[in-house]
Structure 1
Amino acid sequence: MPRDATGKIPGSPHLDFEAWKDLIRTMGGRFNPEGIEPNAFTGCVRPLRVCGFTAAEVGSNAHRVERTHRDVRLDGADHYFTMFQVAGQSAMTHNEEAARFDVGDVVLVDMARPATFFNCNAGESWKSVVLLLPRRSLVSHLGFEPRGGHYRRNGTAAGRLLLDLIRNSEEGEGTTPSPADSYMRLAVYDLVGALFAPNDPVPSRHADKLFIRVRNVIKDGFADPDFGPCEAAARAGISLRYLQKMFTQRGSTCSEFIYSFRLDQAARLLQRRAALDASQALSEIAYASGFRDYRHFARKFRHRFGHAPGGGSPEDSRALCDRNINHWLAML
């Protein structure tokens, strides 16, 4: 982007070297302009709010801007940001990816990893629009962990919609939140997913750890007849959509997983009932295992174990229960 006669970037307040670094740091993390003398530096940062997200128009005439391993360690920023090129040309190396960007191109940057951005404008300024996205919320909504460094060329429908949404946002940090923001944030996540979804998403290490947490939540809550997928998602702190994707990727459903715990518990209680020659009502065992309706319990039990709750061998039920536990453990 060209500078005016005073050397400033048009349309945004002029910032010197230290002011630019400080404002960038307060907004999202540590970045360092390199390859230019501080007294020759000129930059701009125009803060924006997009549906409750932090965003900004950012530009400078630095030859390159770096985020090092040390920066990552010092600020501990744990979010992504999308970066649209809106003036000039730039290039980037990040997460074992390297690319050059023209106006309209967009890249996803992972703040937990180093990155270097290069000015390709022969001493002139570049300008971009960035949108910060909290990692946990984004991953929970998408159902996969996007890879920083992926980029898309100008012209995608999702890219145009997201850039228009950012450009039409209000300026500054003090804008009044809108009741529609929570819905629009979901739309933003969907657009990011449409831009950067891998062709064949697989569960990440983060997702594996999260699945273990979900499993423990279900283990603690299955005995409550009112406990279901919605409650499991809420207690695990993830969206229902992500919860469903986690189980789909493992060839199952959350409801099936919950019923498996309930039926295993019922089989254990029936085995104890038989061993103690107790007279505990089968309906009590059903309720203690998380079933409110006995007929529903009996149908599920027969389908699972091949006999009614009061019939069959307790050892057979236990063997099936053990095999089922091994099956679910293999999903981890």
Structure 2
Amino acid sequence: MLSDETNSLAPLDAFQAGVRNVCGQFLVSPPDGARDMRGLITLKQRQALAVAVVRNSAARINRDWRCIRQDSAEHLFLVLQKSGHSVMRQGDADVRLAPGDFIMIDSAYPSRFLYGDSGSLQYSVHLNRSEFAHRFGTAALGGCPIPGSTEIGMALRATIDRLVNSEDAAAQQHFIGEAFFNLMGAYLCGLEAGALASARTSDELLVTKARAYIRQRFRDPACTPASVASAMGVSLRALQRRFQAAGLSLSECLIATRLDYVCNRLMAQKSAGTSERISTIAFDAGFNDLSYFNRQFRARFRVPPGEYRLHAATSSAKNPTQ
């Protein structure tokens, strides 16, 4: 299907500009060994919903942390694979999409899209992240797949097809949009209850997202287990359960990230020849109680931070090449 339309597609630079205009900061590149690729992206506004129609021939599209810092877009993209195949990554999972399959992509976290050399046609429903979380009480998880063979998948596909090809009046488009949100609500309720096959994968992705959030925000003393859960759109108890299921502790993950930062700063001093106050480093790592910091440091490294730094300096003198 797509190969017959290749001549009407725009070259790489134009497609890149179109993607950034419609979706935000993404990096588009041709496949390995190629100098160019062709693609086309158009946006169809349907009352409360916007749907991007994306055609491309064998591109790779990435959104990394640098892209995320360059724009303030916080959207969810429900991507429907209409024709061709693709591999979508968010978190630590690769999700292979065949025609009819869906995946939810969260623009606030890195993602990567790979397309086969036969080309691809996708519909991407753009959803405001905060409004979506407010409507359903939880943000959809980036990387969550919805198989097209499920009842909800088939119903969503029919609804989105109707939206894209709609010539209906505004009132009818509003009705179709509400049908879409009702279907998404049913899917998310099933996901939260663990009734869907992808629930386990979704829990793993939530933990991955929470850990990424901690790595970005741990130096802020206001970054607490409760604030992390709020940012993820789930209750603190629900997030703690998911961490425990993964063999982790949410609080320990946050503390370990801060202690690793302190450790790296202390180790760096051996090569820089500096000697910052340990309290300064601890506060900069997000600790706001020195007694608590000292207890946690000794529990982790079996020595107080001052002795740890002295040992690092001594080790450096004995091993100058390290």
**TM range, smaller chain:** 0.5 to 0.7
Contact 1:141 1:189 in 2 (8 A): no
Indicate which of 180, 184, 201 corresponds to 1:188.
Answer: 180
Q: Which residue of 2 aligns with 1:27?
A: 22
- 1:108-127 equivalences in 2 (<5 Å): 108-119=104-115, 121=116, 123-127=117-121
SS of 1:168 mapped into structure 2: helix
Paired amino acid for 1:189: F
Indicate which of 153, 162, 172 corresponds to 1:159.
Answer: 153
CA pair 124-204 structure 1, distance change in 2 beyond 3 A: farther
Q: Which residue of 2 aligns with 1:285?
A: none
Paired amino acid for 1:64: R
Contact 2:49 2:127 in 1 (8 A): yes
Paired amino acid for 2:22: M
Cα deviation code 1:27-61 (max 9, x no counterpart):
12122222447863111223222343111221212
SS of 1:128 mapped into structure 2: strand
Following the alignment from structure 1 to structure 2, what is the Cα–Cα distance between the partners of residues 34 and 136?
A: 30
Paired amino acid for 2:183: L
CA pair 170-186 structure 1, distance change in 2 beyond 3 A: closer
Q: Which residue of 2 aligns with 1:178?
A: 170
CA pair 141-61 structure 1, distance change in 2 beyond 3 A: same
Paired amino acid for 2:192: N
TM-score, normalised to structure 2, is 0.55
Following the alignment from structure 2 to structure 1, what is the Cα–Cα distance between the partners of residues 83 and 69?
A: 31
Contact 1:52 1:177 in 2 (8 A): no
CA pair 33-205 structure 1, distance change in 2 beyond 3 A: same
Following the alignment from structure 1 to structure 2, what is the Cα–Cα distance between the partners of residues 24 and 189?
A: 25
Post-superposition offset of 1:15? 1.4
Q: Does 1:97 align with 2:90?
A: no
Cα deviation code 1:73-121 (max 9, x no counterpart):
10121010100111111111102222111111100000001111111x3
Q: Which residue of 2 aligns with 1:316?
A: none
Post-superposition offset of 1:182? 5.0
Following the alignment from structure 2 to structure 1, what is the Cα–Cα distance between the partners of residues 102 and 17?
A: 25
Percentage of matched positions with identical amino acids: 21
Following the alignment from structure 1 to structure 2, what is the Cα–Cα distance between the partners of residues 113 and 183?
A: 31
Cα deviation code 1:262-285 (max 9, x no counterpart):
xxxxxxxxxxxxxxxxxxxxxxxx
Q: Which residue of 1 aligns with 2:123?
A: 129
Post-superposition offset of 1:192? 1.9
SS of 1:83 mapped into structure 2: strand
CA pair 60-145 structure 1, distance change in 2 beyond 3 A: same
Judge which range, 20-29 or 194-203, deviates more: 194-203
Following the alignment from structure 1 to structure 2, what is the Cα–Cα distance between the partners of residues 150 and 142?
A: 16
CA pair 76-62 structure 1, distance change in 2 beyond 3 A: farther
Q: Does 1:3 align with 2:16?
A: no
CA pair 200-45 structure 1, distance change in 2 beyond 3 A: same
Q: Does 1:147 align with 2:147?
A: no
Following the alignment from structure 2 to structure 1, what is the Cα–Cα distance between the partners of residues 83 and 232?
A: 40
Following the alignment from structure 2 to structure 1, what is the Cα–Cα distance between the partners of residues 138 and 188?
A: 10
Q: Does 1:42 align with 2:38?
A: yes
Structure of greater Rg: 1
Contact 1:50 1:166 in 2 (8 A): no
CA pair 45-188 structure 1, distance change in 2 beyond 3 A: same
Q: Which residue of 2 aligns with 1:69?
A: 65
Q: Which residue of 2 aligns with 1:169?
A: 163
Post-superposition offset of 1:125? 0.7
Cα deviation code 1:113-154 (max 9, x no counterpart):
1111111x3x22111111000011111111112210010211
Tell me the number of residue pairs that the alignment of Structure 1 and Structure 2 aligns. 205
Following the alignment from structure 1 to structure 2, what is the Cα–Cα distance between the partners of residues 23 and 70?
A: 19
SS of 1:188 mapped into structure 2: helix
SS of 2:3 mapped into structure 1: coil
Name stretches of at least 5 consecutive residues in structure 1 with no aligned partner: 212-244, 250-332
Name stretches of at least 5 consecutive residues in structure 2 with no aligned partner: 195-202, 204-224, 239-322
SS of 2:118 mapped into structure 1: coil
Cα deviation code 1:247-304 (max 9, x no counterpart):
xx9xxxxxxxxxxxxxxxxxxxxxxxxxxxxxxxxxxxxxxxxxxxxxxxxxxxxxxx
SS of 1:91 mapped into structure 2: strand
- 1:266-305 equivalences in 2 (<5 Å): none
